[in-house]
Amino acid sequence: MALQPWRKGIVTRIENETYNTRRFWIQVPELESFDFAPGQFVTLDLPIHEKPAKRIRSYSIASWPDGTNVFELLIVLLEGGAGTTYLFNEVKEGSELTLRGPQGVFTLPDSIEKDLYFICTGTGIAPFRSMVHHIKRHNIPHQNIHLIFGTRTQKDLVYVSELKQLDTEMENFHFLPTLSREQWDGCCGYVHAIYENLVREKMNGNSEPPPANFYLCGWKAMIDEAKQRIQGLGYDRKAIHQELYG
């Protein structure tokens, strides 16, 4: 795909999702429709440094293609982070942003013939929200989809009511939020035990793991550990797709 030009974006809406996470809706006025594949990201050129390379920040698109020229980003405020500090403190509704996109190959397969495991932490849920809504909206045939979302506590959960609703409405979609530092009525612990248990249940004592693709989005430590564990279950490296944050 050819590299997209830099364009002007207008922030049309901002909402707090949690105590440290915000949703930003951005319109691209020069386009009638901002077309992208679920899972792709946009790059922002923020006025935070003289050197261009230190101004660039990339964020996965949290919304899904809907034929409009508006898309949504989900952004967490990072302590000491120049980019997110600017976005939280300086950007208001009506603010202009310089952006490029869509970009990226972290996208759905052309045909969903295997189980999908979407494994994420924090705002790494953004591309998976896009993918799941896209699948539902277009009635795309699919096998089991397990969205395993890890956060520390309930106050860190994002899109939780919406995704729980999808879990009830969408056949073969399973939303599994898990908390690592708080007991609650859902899954507890880290994401790794969740997908390992699901795979082992399906193996049912067999040596070969069932056909599946694994999509990982989040911090490097989580992704590195997941890649080792998934291959330890017997999967080939080609079954693993990743989008690294930070």
| Average pLDDT value for residue range 202-222 | 91
Tell me the residue range of the domain where 227 lies.
115-245
User: Domain end: 58, 75, 103, which one?
Assistant: 103
pLDDT of residue 103: 95
pLDDT surpassing 90 at residue 1 = no
CATH number at residue 202: 3.40.50.80
pLDDT mean across residues, the chain: 95
Q: What is the pLDDT of residues 42-92, one digit of tens each?
A: 999 999 999 988 999 999 999 999 999 999 999 999 999 999 999 999 999
- 126 and 234 part of one domain: yes
In this model, does residue 151 exceed pLDDT 80?
A: yes
pLDDT at 178 over 90: yes
* Strand-by-strand arrangement of the 56-60 sheet: 56-60, 41-45, 96-103, 7-16, 21-27, 70-76
Same domain, yes or no: 183 and 237? yes
Residue 107 — very low, low, confident or very high, per pLDDT cuts 50/70/90?
very high
Domain membership flag for residue 240? yes
Q: With both helix axes pointing from N to C terminus, report the angle between 191-203 and 220-232 in degrees, rounded to the nearest 10.
A: 20
* 81 and 35 belong to one structural domain: yes
125, 233: one domain? yes
Question: 159 burial class (0-12, 13-18, 19+ CB within 10 angstroms)?
Answer: buried
The count of structural domains within the chain is 2
| Residue 246 clears pLDDT 70, i.e. is over it | no
Do 131 and 238 lie in one domain? The reply is: yes
Same domain, residue pair 87 and 134: no
Q: Is the pLDDT of residue 191 over 60?
A: yes
Q: For position 179, what pLDDT does the model report?
A: 94
